Structure 1
Amino acid sequence: MHAVCRWHQRARWLHKHRVPFLPTWIYYLMRIVFACDLPYAVDMAKDVKLYHNGLGVVIHRKAKIGTGTSIYQNVTIGGNGREGKDNGIPVIGCHVFIGAGAIIMGPITIGDYARIGANSVVTRSVPPYGVAVGAPAQLIRIDYDRGVSAR
């Protein structure tokens, strides 16, 4: 497991158990050491992989990221500035691939087994098994035949 993910899990556990100061200290330590903005409030599955130690990754504090997701460096998963009650926050499904430099913004859902290309700007939802690339991202195909064992 990657160091950033381990530290995030520890900070999240401490936050859930209302331990003061330590989650914030871990958050700032991760910002300095790994150059990533990964708040302890992010609802991220335990087996999410942040490649290259999450270098440059920025994730909104209310984002939800499903199991088995792979996130490469310089990815931004953020709100659109109009967050009410969790409105404007992306929800990432299970086993999603997010390429380097991708930006996922707004109240969208990225379906299970979807793939987001490198440097794509995603502002619309992507269905399960969808492949989205470009700026702004366009859905280029849906790989329904791609099974769980295809990864």
Structure 2
Amino acid sequence: MINEDKKRYGLSNLGLIKGLFTGHAFYAVLHYRIASWLYKHHIKLLPDMVCYRNIRRHGCEISPTSSIDGGLMLHHTVGIVVGCFVKAGKNLEIFQNVTIGSNRKEVDGQIMPIIGDNVSIGSGAVVVGPIKIGNNVLIGANSYVDKDIPDNAVVAGIPAKIIRYKQ
């Protein structure tokens, strides 16, 4: 998955070295991948330590218990929060100040969102609850999403409403 993430950022080997010293967003994704791997292999305490480092260094908190497929892209990592047990497909794109988490409601044992492939979540958006976000969805900036969204939809507003469908 790390190679898919690296390809998504289009980083060369020189870009990786430069990013190591400049705090490139790819390294926030790398911290998440390491913490997630440690969690899945039942290594205690270390996932939380790596997650805490991600918070301190990049200003984003992605729970190691969440499951995000390859191609994760973060823009401007500050303020990003992804709660525990969130599930997301390939090529998830998240902008700054996005929250993906629970609204304390439960449906069939699910409390966190399940997000499909090729989803983009704009700045300041909030995606909460036991909902399903379809594939190829665009969530507009500052939207509040607490209902299921079908495939190929573009949503915006508080609460989010479908404003059109992608071709």
TM-score (norm 2): 0.81
Q: Distance in 2 between matches of 1:12 and 1:47?
A: 15
Q: Distance in 2 between matches of 1:23 and 1:106?
A: 24
1:25 corresponding residue in structure 2: 49
Does residue 146 of structure 2 align to residue 123 of structure 1?
Answer: yes
Q: Distance in 2 between matches of 1:79 and 1:71?
A: 17
2:103 corresponding residue in structure 1: 80
Q: What SS is found at the alignment partner of 1:140?
A: strand
- 1:92–1:111 Cα contact (<8 Å) kept: yes
Q: Distance in 1 between matches of 2:55 and 2:109?
A: 24
Offset, 1:123: 1.2
Q: Residues 68-89 of structure 1, C-alpha deviation per residue, up to 9 Å, x if partnerless? A: 1111010011111134764221
1:34 corresponding residue in structure 2: 58
- 1:114–1:128 Cα contact (<8 Å) kept: yes
Among 79, 95, 103, the residue aligned to 1:56: 79
The percent identity for this pair of structures is 35
- 2:105–2:130 Cα contact (<8 Å) kept: no
- Shift of the 84–140 alpha-carbon distance from structure 1 to 2, 3 Å rule, reads closer
1:113 corresponding residue in structure 2: 136
- Shift of the 34–86 alpha-carbon distance from structure 1 to 2, 3 Å rule, reads farther
Q: Distance in 1 between matches of 2:109 and 2:56?
A: 28
Q: What SS is found at the alignment partner of 2:61?
A: coil
Q: Decide which structure has greater helix share.
A: 2
Which runs of 5 or more residues in structure 1 are unaligned?
Answer: 146-151
Q: Residues 115-146 of structure 1, C-alpha deviation per residue, up to 9 Å, x if partnerless? A: 00000011111110001001111111112x2x
Does residue 62 of structure 2 align to residue 8 of structure 1?
Answer: no
Q: Distance in 1 between matches of 2:117 and 2:55?
A: 26
- 2:122–2:140 Cα contact (<8 Å) kept: yes
Q: Distance in 2 between matches of 1:36 and 1:13?
A: 18
Q: Distance in 2 between matches of 1:86 and 1:71?
A: 26
Q: Distance in 2 between matches of 1:113 and 1:36?
A: 24
Paired positions, count: 143
- 1:5–1:46 Cα contact (<8 Å) kept: no
